[in-house]
Structure 1
Amino acid sequence: MCGIAGALSPGLRHHGDALHALGRRMGDAIAHRGPDDAGTWADATAGVVLSHRRLSIVDLSPEGHQPMASADGRWVVAFNGEIYNHAALRAELAGLGHAFRGHSDTEVLLCAIAQWGVEAALERGNGMLALAAWDRVERVLWLARDRVGKKPLYYGWTTDRTFVFGSELAALRACPSLRAEVDPDALALLLRLDYIPAPYSILQGIRKLPAGSLLRLDASAPDAVPTTYRWWDALARQEAAIEAGFEGDEAAALDAFDMLLRDAVALRMEADVPLGAFLSGGTDSSLVAALMQAQSARPVRSFSIGFDNAEHDESAHAAVVARHLRTDHTELRADGRAALELVPRMATVFDEPFADSSQLPMALLCQLTRRHVTVALSGDGGDELFFGYGRYARALRNHARIGWLQRLPLAKRLASPGERARLGGWAALRAELAAEGLQGAARLRVSRWRDPERVVRGARRRNTAYEDPAALPRNGTHGDALMALDFACYLPEDILTKVDRASMAVALEARAPLLDWRVAEFAWSLPFSMKWKDGELKHLPKALLCRYLPSTLVHRRKSGFGAPVGDWLKGPLRDWAEAQLDERRLREEGHFDPAPLRAMWTEFQAGRRKWHTHLWGVLMFQAWRERWR
């Protein structure tokens, strides 16, 4: 796990020292992602520089140093991530005549690119990555992001026409000619979703490469424009898996799932550094921990976090699961003070504004885990693949029940009530009646602000997967469609972003076996009845977990992973929030209309409305702006 950055600067051609200096500045800005080693490489004739910060996981020797050049000198790569099937690829490449200096997966990826080309090498790999590859012969720069979007990659142009890229915005900000102005459209997306989805970013002119995508930039062409395309299309793969279907009954599906996930876990247990697992006590993390322990000769290290607020505390159940699995378990108790101390740092940890309040317990959990291990496996992805969210069931229920109401003349005269729809009651019903189809019902479930463009000055509405009809699978059930939308947007841009930034802030590598592409395609092939059965969410994973845990520990209510921000904003964070929402400050900064925000703040403090989730997004942006201005 590492951080990458770089630039293609026509203005710095034949200025090798200046290119290396730029690369070092960009790499130093993301040094937290890779504290073990640093390197830059430049092609002065083309004005290209690659920078790398290394967190050593596989092959701790200097043979794993990056950027790394191929044996023939044609290819140079800077790589963030892990190729889990590198041993099998190494054997295949050795049979084709390739020799290896060390045993790093980076060298295997580099040889694969030299042998088959960038796209074919990516297709043969099984892992997570953000990649920059420079072809010295064709003078082409390639950028790539893994299938699911576990590793981030930003890119864009500066005012002097330098093309810059990096794992985080901080790397791009290190380029002096970057114009770091806020994009109001992206800010509105932050308020709507709690995150900013690809391809957008908070900075104008800077984009995020979408999951499963390749970018190609021909440096030999004057005024070259990068082209992007999908090298792995999740929606197309889901449609194909649904069409093919799973051949067998539930018992056969359990056996297949057990074998497939066991292999995915085993691949992710390879490391030359200490390794453990996040264990919340929920189905997915418990299943991963169980399969780790089943394949380990000694107790697996497991980690959980507990809060003094019972609504957000699953630590007691995690401890019971750990005792049953016989893991070596460590628990952090957080009474609120530790999380509160983190709030001002969130703007630094997340680099781009991010407002999912579970960022706080995740950051604490990563801090705890990093004291003991360098790699941690997580259960991320299970909800989006196996129908694990209660909001899925609510969306299906409301879509079915409200459909007939929407045909009544009265419904056609009702407009959505705006932000009050989040507060329940008649306003929520009016919003449901105004929703258009299943996609509209899904959008209501994931939208925080319903109309953020009214409060963000100069903002235009930007569509995401939740508005795009082309994001829906052409086959399958309504449940498959809901999961497809989240797999395209919520999973990579919220869940995986949260885990990446929180873990990399402390130089911890997080791995997600359930997001192995083979597991994903297996899940898509299953009939929907194996995911939601007799009202039970995530049926098949729970059935599999019952092979490793007593059913009483498996079938329980999901608590979620959040933080009591409402209590904090009325208590210890009140003064901080008041300063962030100061009316004069809001007016002078010019990003928001102060009046509705101040009205929300007043109603919330008076206990008349629960606006804390709406306000949290504004506060996270304000803190970010204060940190980075």
Structure 2
Amino acid sequence: MCGISGFIDWKNISGFDCIKAMTDVLHHRGPDDGGYFYKQYQSVHIGLGHRRLSILDLSSHGHQPMDHRHLTIIYNGEVYNFKEIRDELEELGYEFDSGSDTEVILKAYHCWGIEMVHRLNGMFALAILDAERKELVLLRDRAGVKPLYWYYHDGLFLFASELKSFHQHPAFKKELCHDGLALFLQYGYIPQPHTIFKHTRKLKAGNSLTIKLDKQNFDEKKYWDVLDFYRKPKLKVTEEEALYETERLLTSACEYRMVADVPVGVFLSGGYDSSAVTALLQSRRSEKLKTFAIGFHEEAYNEAHHARRVAEHLGTDHTEYYCTHQDALDILPRLPEIWDEPFGDASTIPTVLVSELARKQVTVSLSADGGDEVFGGYDKYIYAKKMESIFGRVPFRNQFGRFFSSIKPSSIPFLSRDPNFSRRYAKAASSLEAKHSAEMLGIIGSAFFRAEVEELIAKPFVHLATDFESYEGLDEHNDLYNSLMAVDYKTYQLDDILVKVDRATMSCSLEGREPLLDYRIIEYVARLDSSLKIRGDERKYLLKKITHQYLPKEMMDRPKMGFGVPILDWFREELRDYLLSYLSECRLAEAGIFNVNKVIEVRDKYLNGKNDDVSKIWFLLVFEMWREKWM
């Protein structure tokens, strides 16, 4: 796991000091080694930088940037099947000087060109400079586990693992994108390919970007899309066949991710996803796996005792830590530095803590993210199904939704006395206005609705298209559940869950690996009937059946908790001070970004104990903390 950065400068104003500064700010992603490439061609300056966290071949042979003939590579990630690819290349006459996957990728590109990406099983964000073809190629892995940002404006192209690299280049213009801000207020994250800055984008998962050095043009292409597999006809297999093949793929994916020349551990929450990963691995080895869990003293949020029971049953070497009120306060000021784009998922706090806990003993830790999106684990899927069953056949459904949206919940007797009724009512009414179930998913996951965002932001902005609208062709072979999981894979999982885990683990130089996001698993499970994932009100049916082969059902069957965080309990007093400071009328008016009265209304509603959604106040606070740090 590493950090990469680079530039192409057609104005020839960027020097070696620029690439060094852009790279060194990513030291946390790779403290073991750093390397730089700087070259001035006739019409362009090119810089490439790399920070290395040594996982495979700990010697200097893994140093990057790495060259082979006319090619130069910088690479962040791990390709787990690199030994098989290396064997294939050796049969074709290629020789190798290192035991690293970097050299395998580089020579695979030399052999097969960009088509080599279809052979890679792993997580990666990489750049390859081809001096012969006069082009730079960027690639991002299928699921988007590894981040890659790029910026182009006024003859300058920048790219990096994190936005903080761009701030190190003197020509980067950090102009706030109000369109991106609107997305953040809706979802608590900014969906790909959009970002918080103008002229700046995320390279989409499963995409390549080719930049011609002599022509200054850009060609972004998709090489993989999860929707392509959901759009295929469903497989005609029995439940037993599905169980066998899914367990085979899960086992292979988990074992692949244990390959390392450094200690490896597992994040264990005690839920089905992490328990399945731990069980599949521990059952096949005699040495004890190192497992790590975070608990809370607030019982409604605590899963640590469940994780401990699983660890004891499987016989792992288990470490747990209880997140305290003070831990949260200590991490809070660090959030804008770790997440250098506004990010509103409050479970960032325990994720940082569990990463720091694991890093004391291991350099790599497996995480079980993706289980909910792949196997159907969220309550929102059941909620959407109920909404569909109630209102799906209502004539003029969209108009019906707009009518309900126009009614103020406070005017409805009895029900309006529930402090959370207003929020639930608005979400249900807005869901009816959705043109498709995929759009309904975006509404269900919103903190601020579009109309509320329009009231909040003082500057003109447009509502950008996201993958919540990418449902074309899904209906032919999918029911509601499969459609929701497909879109979730491209939205919430990609730009919330994976961003959270990548930045948290990398903040303490820990490599996080995601076995449930092995592309072979989703390509297979996407083509299974949804009844194998959600059966009645039972979520993750298939994964549970596999897990119960290793862990007693009575130990595992309990209400789903998720990785919730007791913000209200932690910050009932301290958050008040933060809010009054960051969301003061004077400060907001000086920035001119928000309609001050609307923000104060949200703030005071929270302070007076009448909040209907704590996410709203959290998103506003997180943004203002980010703005103070980076703007």
Name the counterpart of 1:384: 373
One of 25, 36, 39 as aligned partner of 2:35? 39
Q: Which moved more, 1:101-110 or 1:467-476?
A: 467-476
One of 359, 371, 391 as aligned partner of 2:348? 359
One of 132, 143, 148 as aligned partner of 2:143? 148
Name the counterpart of 1:3: 3
> Is 1:49 matched with 2:47?
yes
RMSD: 1.9
CA shift for structure 1 position 233: 1.9
Name the counterpart of 1:29: 25
Q: Give the Cα separation in 1 of the matches to 2:626 and 2:376.
A: 34
Equivalent positions of 1:78-227 (< 5 A) are 78-118=74-114, 120-159=115-154, 161-221=155-215, 224-227=216-219
**1:412 to 1:152, Cα distance in 2 relative to 1, 3 A:** closer
Q: Gaps spanning 5+ residues in structure 1: where?
A: none
**1:599 to 1:345, Cα distance in 2 relative to 1, 3 A:** same
One of 492, 509, 516 as aligned partner of 2:494? 492
CA shift for structure 1 position 382: 0.9
**1:369 to 1:425, Cα distance in 2 relative to 1, 3 A:** closer
Q: Which residue type is aligned with residue 64 of structure 1?
A: G
Q: Give the Cα separation in 2 of the matches to 1:563 and 1:294.
A: 32
TM-score of the superposed pair, with normalisation by structure 1? 0.95
CA shift for structure 1 position 446: 1.0
Q: Gaps spanning 5+ residues in structure 2: where?
A: 411-419
**1:250 to 1:157, Cα distance in 2 relative to 1, 3 A:** same
One of 620, 623, 628 as aligned partner of 1:621? 623
Q: Deviations over 1:336-369 (max 9, x none)?
A: 2101210111000111110011111111111111
Equivalent positions of 1:109-508 (< 5 A) are 109-118=105-114, 120-159=115-154, 161-221=155-215, 224-240=216-232, 243=233, 245-405=234-394, 407=396, 413-415=403-405, 423-424=422-423, 426-451=425-450, 452-458=453-459, 459-470=461-472, 472=474, 474-508=476-510
Question: Identity rate of aligned residues, in percent?
Answer: 38
**1:30 to 1:419, Cα distance in 2 relative to 1, 3 A:** farther
**1:429 to 1:83, Cα distance in 2 relative to 1, 3 A:** closer
CA shift for structure 1 position 547: 0.7
Q: Which moved more, 1:398-407 or 1:60-69?
A: 398-407
**1:419 to 1:548, Cα distance in 2 relative to 1, 3 A:** farther
Q: Which residue type is aligned with residue 73 of structure 2?
A: V
Q: Which residue type is aligned with residue 4 of structure 1?
A: I
> Is 1:523 matched with 2:525?
yes
CA shift for structure 1 position 610: 2.7
**1:486 to 1:429, Cα distance in 2 relative to 1, 3 A:** closer
CA shift for structure 1 position 232: 1.0
Q: Give the Cα separation in 2 of the matches to 1:425 and 1:40.
A: 53
Q: Give the Cα separation in 2 of the matches to 1:517 and 1:473.
A: 22
CA shift for structure 1 position 416: 5.4
CA shift for structure 1 position 295: 2.6
Q: Deviations over 1:530-570 (max 9, x none)?
A: 11113210000000000110011222211110211223342
CA shift for structure 1 position 457: 2.2
Q: Give the Cα separation in 2 of the matches to 1:411 and 1:342.
A: 41
TM-score of the superposed pair, with normalisation by structure 2? 0.94
Partner SS state of residue 90, structure 1 = helix
Partner SS state of residue 526, structure 2 = helix
Q: Give the Cα separation in 1 of the matches to 2:393 and 2:230.
A: 30
CA shift for structure 1 position 587: 0.9
**1:127 to 1:532, Cα distance in 2 relative to 1, 3 A:** same
Q: Which moved more, 1:187-196 or 1:226-235?
A: 226-235
CA shift for structure 1 position 6: 0.3
CA shift for structure 1 position 574: 1.4
Name the counterpart of 2:416: none
Partner SS state of residue 56, structure 1 = coil
Name the counterpart of 2:414: none
Equivalent positions of 1:525-564 (< 5 A) are 525-564=527-566
**Number of aligned positions between the proteins:** 616
Contact map agreement 2:579 2:603 (CA 8 A) in 1: no
Q: Deviations over 1:58-113 (max 9, x none)?
A: 0100000001001xx21100000001000100100000000000100000000100
**1:415 to 1:429, Cα distance in 2 relative to 1, 3 A:** same
Contact map agreement 1:414 1:434 (CA 8 A) in 2: no
Q: Which moved more, 1:419-428 or 1:430-439?
A: 419-428
CA shift for structure 1 position 429: 4.2
CA shift for structure 1 position 21: 1.8
Q: Deviations over 1:118-153 (max 9, x none)?
A: 2x1111110000011100101101011100000001
Name the counterpart of 1:574: 576
Contact map agreement 2:3 2:76 (CA 8 A) in 1: yes
Partner SS state of residue 11, structure 2 = helix
Q: Give the Cα separation in 1 of the matches to 2:312 and 2:402.
A: 56
Q: Deviations over 1:465-497 (max 9, x none)?
A: 223443845421111110111111111111101
Contact map agreement 1:569 1:577 (CA 8 A) in 2: no
